[in-house]
Amino acid sequence: MQRAGLWSVFAIALIVVLVTAKMAWAAAGDMLAVGATAPNFTLPSQDNTPVHLSDFKGKWVVLYFYPKDMTSGCTLEAHNFQRDQAKYNALNAAIVGVSLDTPDSHKTFCTKENLTFKLLADPDHKVVDAYGVPVLTRGQASFAKRVTYLISPDGKVAKVWPAVKPGEHSEEVLAELQTHKK
């Protein structure tokens, strides 16, 4: 009987851990689906000026969410987007990064890494939640999962990358944009 009781306690503890972990990633809700209207937003950029999604009306928008400024994967991803900036410009596409970091953190990151596209600060999770981007909490720190939305010039979600490999992501996005080129 004791053995059965221990297994019950173990099973309940495992369920609690799994549900808690799922809730930590899914707290923001479901990610937007292809075809959905991209929610408009206003967030401060690295120069602390407000940026609205509607500022990019008529352009493709690569809205990429990333965990943290000045970390290896996030720096690699940002460098690759910066490297390919001219290709995005030629395809009428804007690159916009969003993390839970502050405008000051973004300013330092952009200055250190010579980034010229907009990085937006979402420390209150407003846009992260609106787009259903999962958030992981470790101790006192929270991090957005690496997710990218390609938003069409008419404001619809054209493609979602729910799991991004930073080293090859810019090429993936450019390839997708090429399929939409007229």
Cβ-count burial 56-95 (b if 16+ within 10 Å, e if not): beebbbbbbbbbbbeeebbbbbbbbbbebbeebeebebbb
Does the annotation count 110 as an active-site position?
Answer: no
Q: Exposure of 112 by Cβ count < 10 A (0-12 exposed, 13-18 middle, 19+ buried)?
A: exposed
Catalytic residue (choose from 32, 53, 61, 74): 74
Give the residue numbers annotated as catalytic, written as ranges: 74
